[in-house]
């Protein structure tokens, strides 16, 4: 909402500067987002009188004018505007003047003719082109004939004004008009509000003779009032009105339309002026549109209506969409003489439905949607009618033809001063409270700190005690509320075990060299299904109205987005990357989503290109499967899950079929690790890329053993190394499992320390070397015991895999 400072001052006494006022308004509840000076750096612009205006001898499009710029001085000014003419009062930038953009005016010669200054258009004076009245859109602005040559043109054009831009929260629709803001400012500055005079001398004629009004549903349209103003003369509205409209962001059109807009801004009441002679009947009927009914609106668009829209009709055809836009057929035009003025209260739901469906949001519709003051409709009608009489020479017929209830009863809300002080932490007295309500213009009864406050109809946002407490608090001043500390008992805060573990996972992965990424949860429908390792049928979840296909469907894996990050960086020539993300994925097993989907926290990583390098020592190692597996093994150790995790070769969509392992916890799949499928790598244009994905929710919900201290070994351990020859495709993990089982209690560690698959081996065979550590914490082992256990191991290996000791 744009509020002109000068206009505001008409209703309330303001003795502080616009910026001081803005500060006070902001502090007590309505954020002033900006204070804009309408003078965008102008000086030296005066009123001039065009005494003579002749064609430039050397240029078709230029005119040479003799302009009286005051104090008897007549300057020659060359002007290019098509509408400049002798006898006009105009704004002249004299030599030495400055226009917006620090544009300095100097004496000049234009095609051989001296020019002492410049005749200005409104745009040249910094007015937004959209707001300049159409007749002056391509030329200079012509000022009223009573303007005094030589005087400050900015005063006439109100360009010394300031505009306050209010950021209104939805509860403060009462400040969507100048009088509403005046009420607020009056409360803040402890001043009275002076309302405009709305008295009218009406004619002998009675409005009821010209029109009848009928409402089909009072729920859709609780009140409709029509006034008749006859014999108006259409023309421009006075400059002061045009100035205020422009300052408020509305383009002046003609006196009748300007008056409806002016009163809209002043009272917050949307009004509409119909050309009475073009109504096509003598009745107004307000009803729902029929499905598919058409109307040609003011903007000359043909609009197709729905049953949820409310229309004003002439008893037959729609002549306006209620609260949204008038129809073209009954539009006020330059030959209009008789006006029907509509002042109504339409249900916000009806206006919202039509404005949304038709894509029409106007000053009027947005006010209806946010709620207007029901009890101010009539006053606004009177105000507009009186202005039409005054400024357009109209004769106002007596009375207002109405249907529905003109006013509704107001209500009261109770408030207890001690409860208020308990909630705010203050010690505000009943007297102070009463005086604040007075400033707000709220009447009340009080006894012993119990207030009963009559809520004015302009403040429907106040319905409960807390609302009144807020009113008192904000006018009292939040800066006067003390700072205290919670009285409640001290209870320990802290992370849950699960939260702490998630932090541990992040810290570990960062320690392992991975950078954390945060990506979007919405992806494409196709990508949402990639990398699924769920065996059951799942249904992607798409939002109903996505902003784009790219962000339409909830992810079921973090990897597609992490791969996008790799691509993004690759496109910027960063090809060696190690990143991870921890975030939610959304799994839906319902064909139709009726219950909330399952959400799991996943932790996933992607590493591509060089992972370890130390260049001058000649080391440059690209990532491989075992780098990522090592990271996961370390992570599982961190989570105390090492013993329960297994890695089994497996296949996942989009992963390399021979380089992927399914990660299992207690035999149940919780994720995978491996290389991207080479085809996908090619598609993404990335180097060899290894990824992992783990369901952290599943990992962390498993109970882990309480850590118990192990006595440090007091007896020596005995180590035996074995080198085995086995079939090439036999997984090393299988050997380890068998060694571990056969070795029994005494075998405490098995470590693979060599793998050989070279030419010295028989075809189809490989050699693996393990180091086995035997140890008993209670005593020194005898050679015999170790030999027994070790032979058991060798026998098992031979039996199970035909493993031979390497010679």
Partner 1 sequence: MKDRLEALKVEAIGQIKEAQDLKDLQAVKVAYLGKKGPITEVLKGMGKLSAEERPVIGAYANEVRDSIQQELDKKQSELENAAIAEKLSKETIDVSLPGRPVKKGNPHPLTAVVTEIEDLFLSMGFTIAEGPEVETDYYNFEALNLPKGHPARDMQDSFFITEDILLRTQTSPVQARTMEKHEGEGPVKIISPGKVYRRDNDDATHSHQFMQIEGLVVDQNVRLSDLKGVLETFAKKMFGEDRKIRLRPSFFPFTEPSVEMDISCFKCSGKGCSICKQTGWIEILGAGMVHPNVLEMAGFDSKKYTGFAFGMGPERIAMLKYGIDDIRHFYANDIRFLKQFKNA
**Which residue's structure tokens are 């054009």?**
157
What is the distance, to the nearest Å, from the Cα of residue 472 to the centroid of all Cα atoms in its chain?
31
470 versus 624: smaller Cβ distance to partner 1: 470
Contact by Cβ (8 Å): 396, 202: yes
Kindly state the DSSP code that residue 596 receives in the 8-state scheme: P
Q: b/e map of 731-743 (b: 16 or more CB within 10 Å)?
A: eeeebeebbeebb
Span interacting with partner 1, options 80-88, 392-400, 483-491, 749-757, rule CB under 8 A: 483-491
Q: Which is nearer to partner 1, 24 or 66 (CB)?
A: 24
Provide long-range contacts, Cβ within 8 A and 24+ apart, for 704-709: 704/639, 704/640, 704/641, 705/640, 707/640
Position 579 contacts partner 1 (CB under 8 A): yes
Residue 579 tokens read as 């990143």
Cβ 23 to partner 1 shortest distance, Å = 9
Residue with tokens 């895999």: 801
Nearest-approach distance from CB 181 to partner 1, in angstroms: 15
Dist. CA 478–CA 362, nearest whole Å: 35
**C-beta of 102: minimal distance to partner 1 in Å?**
20
71, 145, 199, 483: which one binds partner 1 (CB under 8 A): 483
Contact set for partner 1, span 5-64 (CB under 8 A): 26-29, 31
Residues 6 or more apart in contact with residue 483 via CB below 8 angstroms: none
| Of 18, 133, 473, 743, the one binding partner 1 by CB under 8 A | 473
Question: Which residues are CB-neighbours of 143 under 8 A, at least 6 positions away?
Answer: 47, 88, 89, 90, 91, 153, 156, 157, 239
Residue 594 touching partner 1 (CB under 8 A): yes
Pick between residue 2 and residue 168 the one whose CB is nearest to partner 1: 168
Q: Establish if 489 lies at the interface with partner 1 (CB under 8 A).
A: yes
Which residue's CB is nearer to partner 1, number 593 or number 787?
Answer: 593
DSSP symbol at 797:
H
CB of 598 to partner 1, least distance (A): 9
Our finding on whether 705 is near partner 1 (CB under 8 A) is no
What radius of gyration, in Å, describes the C-alpha atoms of the chain? Answer: 41
Residues 400-429 that bind partner 1 (CB under 8 A): 422-426
Candidates 293, 317, 467, 633; binder of partner 1 (CB under 8 A) is 467
Distance from C-alpha of 696 to C-alpha of 693, rounded to nearest angstrom: 9
Residue 280 binds partner 1, judged by CB under 8 A: no
Interacting span for partner 1 (CB under 8 A) from 241-249, 311-319, 576-584, 696-704: 576-584
Choose between 616 and 709: whose C-beta lies nearer to partner 1: 616
Footprint on residues 598-617 left by partner 1 (CB under 8 A): 599, 611-614, 616-617
Q: Which residue among 83, 191, 454, 569 contacts partner 1 (CB under 8 A)?
A: 569
CA gap 360, 365 in Å, rounded = 8
Interactions with partner 1, residue window 210-239 (CB under 8 A): none
Beta carbon of residue 457, minimum distance to partner 1 (angstroms, whole number) = 18
Site for partner 1 contains 447 (CB under 8 A)? no
CA distance 753 to 766: 14
Site string for partner 1, 311-350 (x = CB under 8 A): -------------------------------------xx-
Exactly one of 68, 184, 275, 369 binds partner 1 (CB under 8 A); that residue is: 369
**Could you say whether residue 150 binds partner 1 (CB under 8 A)?**
no
437 binds partner 1 (CB under 8 A): no
Contact residue for partner 1 among 90, 351, 578, 746 (CB under 8 A): 578
559 lies in the site for partner 1, by CB under 8 A: no
**Size of the residue set binding partner 1 (CB under 8 A):** 94
C-alpha to C-alpha distance for 544 and 553, rounded to whole angstroms: 10
Roughly what angle, to the nearest 10 degrees, separates helices 178-189 and 18-27? 80
Helix (H, G, I), strand (E, B) or coil at 168: coil
CB of 529 vs partner 1, minimal distance in Å: 17
Q: Which is nearer to partner 1, 193 or 521 (CB)?
A: 521
Q: Which of 335, 547, 618, 714 binds partner 1 (CB under 8 A)?
A: 547
Strands (E), 150-222: 162-167, 212-215
* Residue of 63, 288, 370, 459 that binds partner 1 (CB under 8 A): 370
User: Which tokens belong to 509?
Assistant: 């992965």
Question: Which one of the spans 155-163, 278-286, 467-475, 704-712 is the region binding partner 1 (CB under 8 A)?
Answer: 467-475
Nearer to partner 1, 418 or 788 (CB): 418
Q: How many residues does the chain have?
A: 807
Interface of this chain with partner 1, residues 161 to 190, rule: CB under 8 A: 169-172
Contact between 487 and partner 1 per CB under 8 A = yes
Query: Which one of the spans 75-83, 222-230, 402-410, 573-581 is the region binding partner 1 (CB under 8 A)?
Result: 573-581
- Which of 194, 206, 405, 551 binds partner 1 (CB under 8 A)? It is 551
Partners of 676 in the beta sheet?
655
Instruction: Give the C-alpha separation, 1 to 167, whole Å.
Output: 7
Q: Which of 395, 406, 474, 748 binds partner 1 (CB under 8 A)?
A: 474
C-alpha to C-alpha distances, 321 to 290, 294, 295, 326, 369, nearest whole angstrom: 12, 10, 8, 6, 14
The answer to whether 340 and 319 are in contact (CB under 8 A) is no
Residue pair 661/648 in contact by the 8 Å Cβ criterion: yes
Quote the CA–CA distance of 235 and 392 in Å, as a whole number.
Answer: 8
Q: How far is the CB of 628 from partner 1 (least distance, A)?
A: 13
- Compute the distance between CA of residue 124 and CA of residue 113 in angstroms, rounded to an integer: 22
User: How far is Cα 358 from Cα 304, in angstroms, rounded to an integer?
Assistant: 8
User: Under the criterion CB under 8 A, does residue 491 sit at the interface with partner 1?
Assistant: yes
Whether residue 634 contacts residue 648, with contact meaning beta carbons closer than 8 Å, is answered with: no
495 binds partner 1 (CB under 8 A): yes
Choosing from 181, 211, 440, 554, the residue that interacts with partner 1 (CB under 8 A) is 554
**Residue among 577, 628, 673, 735 that touches partner 1 (CB under 8 A):** 577
- Rounded to a whole number of angstroms, the minimum distance from the CB of residue 802 to partner 1 is 41
Binding string, 499-538, against partner 1, x = CB under 8 A?
x---x--x--xxxxxxxxxxxxxx----------------
Where are any strands of DSSP class E within 259-301?
271-275, 283-288, 294-296
Query: Of 16, 574, 741, 787, which one interacts with partner 1 (CB under 8 A)?
Result: 574
Cβ distance to partner 1 smaller for residue 85 or 565: 565
Q: Which two tokens stand for residue 315?
A: 């008893």
What would the 3-class secondary structure string for 579-622 be? EEEEEEEEECCCCCCCCCCEEEEEEEEEEECEEEEEHHHCEEEE
Cα-Cα-Cα-Cα torsion 628, 631, 633, 638, nearest 10 degrees, comes to -160
Least distance from C-beta 571 to partner 1, angstroms? 10
How many C-beta atoms surround the C-beta of residue 587 within 10 A?
18
**Distance in angstroms between the alpha carbons of the first and the last residue of the chain:** 92
Query: Dihedrals φ, ψ of 142, to 5°?
Result: -100, 125
Q: Among 101, 292, 482, 667, which residue sits at the site for partner 1 (rule: CB under 8 A)? A: 482
Binds partner 1 (CB under 8 A): choice among 568, 626, 715, 753: 568
């Amino acid at each position: 909402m744009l509020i002109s400072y000068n206009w505001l001052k008409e209703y309330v006494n303001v003795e502080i500067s616009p910026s001081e006022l803005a500060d006070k308004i902001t502090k007590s509840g309505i954020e002033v987002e900006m204070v804009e000076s309408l003078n965008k750096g102008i000086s030296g612009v005066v009123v001039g009188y065009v005494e003579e205006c002749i064609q430039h001898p050397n240029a078709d499009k230029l005119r040479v004018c003799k302009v009286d710029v005051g104090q008897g001085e007549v300057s020659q000014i060359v002007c290019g505007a098509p509408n400049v003419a002798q006898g006009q009062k105009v704004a002249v930038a004299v030599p030495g003047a400055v226009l917006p953009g620090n544009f300095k005016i100097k004496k000049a010669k234009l095609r051989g003719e001296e020019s002492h200054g410049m005749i200005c258009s409104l745009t040249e004076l910094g007015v937004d082109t959209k707001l300049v009245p159409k007749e002056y859109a391509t030329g200079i602005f012509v000022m009223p004939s009573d303007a005094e040559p030589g005087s400050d043109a900015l005063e006439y054009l109100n360009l010394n004004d300031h505009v306050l831009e209010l950021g209104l929260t939805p509860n403060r629709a009462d400040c969507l008009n100048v009088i509403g803001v005046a009420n607020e400012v009056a409360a803040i500055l402890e001043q009275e509000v002076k309302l405009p005079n709305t008295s009218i001398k009406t004619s002998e004629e009675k409005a009821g003779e010209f029109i009848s009004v009928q409402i089909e549903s009072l729920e859709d349209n609780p009140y409709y009032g029509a006034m008749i103003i006859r014999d108006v003369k259409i023309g421009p509205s006075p400059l002061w009105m045009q100035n205020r409209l422009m300052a408020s962001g509305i383009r002046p059109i003609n006196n009748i339309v300007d008056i409806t807009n002016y009163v809209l801004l002043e009272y917050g009441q949307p009004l509409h002026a119909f050309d009475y002679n073009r109504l096509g009947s003598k009745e107004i009927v307000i009803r729902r549109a029929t499905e598919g009914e058409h109307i040609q609106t003011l903007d000359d668009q043909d609009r197709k209506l729905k049953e949820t829209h409310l229309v004003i009709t002439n008893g037959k055809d729609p002549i306006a969409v209620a609260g949204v836009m008038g129809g073209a057929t009954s539009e006020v035009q330059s030959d209009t003489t008789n006006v029907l003025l509509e002042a109504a209260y339409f249900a916000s739901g009806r206006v919202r439905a039509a404005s949304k469906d038709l894509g029409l949001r106007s000053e009027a519709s947005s006010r209806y949607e946010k709620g207007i003051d029901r009890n101010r409709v009539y006053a606004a009608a009177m105000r507009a009618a009186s202005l039409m009489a005054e400024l357009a020479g109209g004769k106002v017929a007596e009375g207002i033809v109405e249907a529905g209830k003109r006013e509704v009863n107001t209500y009261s809300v109770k408030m207890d001063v001690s409860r208020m002080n308990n909630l705010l932490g203050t010690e505000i007295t009943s007297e102070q409270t009463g005086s604040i309500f007075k400033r707000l213009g709220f009447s009340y009864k009080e006894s012993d700190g119990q207030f009963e406050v009559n809520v004015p109809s302009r403040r429907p946002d106040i319905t409960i005690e807390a609302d009144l407490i807020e009113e008192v608090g904000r006018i009292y001043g939040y800066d006067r509320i003390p700072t205290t500390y919670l009285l409640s008992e001290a209870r320990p805060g802290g992370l849950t075990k699960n939260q702490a573990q998630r932090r541990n996972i992040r810290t570990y992965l960062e320690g392992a060299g991975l950078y954390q990424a945060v990506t979007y949860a919405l992806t494409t429908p196709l990508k949402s299904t990639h990398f699924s390792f769920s065996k059951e049928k799942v249904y992607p979840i798409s939002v109903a109205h996505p902003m784009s296909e790219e962000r339409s469907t909830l992810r079921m894996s973090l990897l597609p987005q992490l791969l996008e990050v790799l691509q993004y960086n690759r496109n910027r020539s960063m090809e060696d990357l190690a990143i991870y993300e921890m975030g939610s994925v959304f799994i839906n097993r319902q064909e139709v989503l009726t219950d909330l989907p399952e959400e799991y926290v996943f932790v996933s990583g992607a590493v591509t290109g060089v992972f370890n390098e130390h260049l001058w020592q000649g080391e440059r190692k690209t990532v491989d499967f075992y780098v990522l597996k090592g990271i996961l093994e370390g992570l599982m150790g961190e989570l105390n899950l090492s013993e329960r995790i297994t890695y089994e070769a497996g296949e996942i969509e989009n992963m390399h079929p021979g380089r992927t392992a399914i990660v299992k916890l207690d035999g149940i799949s919780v994720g995978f690790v491996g290389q991207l499928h080479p085809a996908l790598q090619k598609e993404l244009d990335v180097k060899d890329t290894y990824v992992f994905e783990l369901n952290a929710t599943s990992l962390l919900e498993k109970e882990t053993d309480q850590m118990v201290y192990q006595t440090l070994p007091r007896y020596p351990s005995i180590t035996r190394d074995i080198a085995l020859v086995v079939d090439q495709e036999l997984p090393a993990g299988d050997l380890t499992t068998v060694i571990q089982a056969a070795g029994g209690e005494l075998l405490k560690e098995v470590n693979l320390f060599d793998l050989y698959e070279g030419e010295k081996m028989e075809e189809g065979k490989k050699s693996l070397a393990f180091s086995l550590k035997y140890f008993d914490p209670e005593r020194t082992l005898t050679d015999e015991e170790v030999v027994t256990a070790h032979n058991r191991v060798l026998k098992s290996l031979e039996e199970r895999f035909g493993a031979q000791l390497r010679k």
